[in-house]
Amino acid sequence: MCGIAGIFHADGSPVSRAVIRSMTEALVHRGPDGVGTWDGQGAALGHRRLAILDPSPRGAQPMTSKNGDWVVAFNGCIYNFQELREELRGLGHVFVSDTDTEVIAEGLAAWGPEVFRRFNGMFAVAAYSQRRREMILSRDRFGVKPLYYWFRGGRLVFGSEVKAIMRHPDFRVELNT
């Protein structure tokens, strides 16, 4: 299991690096093998890693597509990633890791958000397009991998567990009568 966390400001205002680090650290038990964060253009992604497919640094997340557009944080397993990798290689994509995460990033570069329809697996993915400045959250069809989110005032905050969201300074636990 891995853990993902993230923030997206619809108005493009800066995201606090300290906040995304804190949100990601709330998920330390989900991934003892590594931690990574990325931020830019009003968005931030965090990842706690449990290294399975490629334990080398090449598999670290968040991972950016080779064209520099997509930044991906991912929890789960794409069962058909090797078939998709071969199809992407046929389109000229180059791979440096043995991870399904890289297939997600390159698949987004090739096919855009439609790539999620091609996945067979259990997953929660956060993908940010730097070119379009939009955040996409996607889960497998059965919701096996958790993905919680909170949205208020043009701010989207999400994570593999609610405790990551609770680390965001604008989030308040309130009774909704």
Residues serving a catalytic function are 2
- What's the Cα-to-Cα distance from 104 to each of 110, 112, 139, 148, 155, rounded to whole Å? 10, 10, 13, 20, 25
Task: Please name every residue paired with 152 in a beta bridge, in sequence order, or none if there are none.
Answer: 155
Contact 44, 76 (CB under 8 A): no
Question: What is the rounded distance in angstroms from the CA atom of residue 7 to the CA atom of residue 83?
Answer: 32
Interior CA angle at 142 toward 122 and 125, to 5°? 45
Query: What's the token pair of residue 35?
Result: 């931690």
